[in-house]
Amino acid sequence: MKSGKQKRAELRAKRTTAEIRSHSKQPEVRLRPVLGPPVNEALLAPNNSYGAPDFVHRGYYVDRPFRCVDCGKEEVWTGTQQKWWYEVAKGFVYTTAIRCRLCRRKKRERSAESRRVHLAGLERKARRKPEGSK
């Protein structure tokens, strides 16, 4: 058998949790669908051109659909990926994604492979002709 005091305390606890839950959820729900990640202009790579790319005017990044130049696949370059590319990787502000994830990886592997072959060639040459010999 619960006393009236206990019941009131339980009710109060329930109400408080519900209030906390609704408060913490609201701002995210309101912002998420409209705005992408905000643009931090100070972090962008410097560029000498007049004017600014559209995302700087807008103030935030939006998802950009594009078609891969290698395989023709449709992919989305997300706002988060753009923020990383421009502000962390310091990509030039007028460059955009042109290859899908898979083709990008293939290209990276190809250039890593050719670099490896190139370096191996240099090493072979150096071994054939030791420094100082004629």
Residue type, 61: Y
In this structure, what token pair is assigned to residue 94? 């007028």
Q: Cβ neighbours of residue 49 under 8 Å, at least 6 residues apart?
A: 94
Least Cβ distance, residue 75 to Zn ion (angstroms): 8
In this structure, what token pair is assigned to residue 40? 């931090």
Least Cβ distance, residue 107 to Zn ion (angstroms): 9
- Among residues 19 and 63, whose Cβ is nearest to Zn ion? 63
Least Cβ distance, residue 64 to Zn ion (angstroms): 15
**Bridge partner residues of 74 (DSSP):** 67
- Among residues 45 and 76, whose Cβ is nearest to Zn ion? 76
Footprint on this chain of Zn ion (rule: CB under 5 A): 68, 70-71, 73, 100, 103
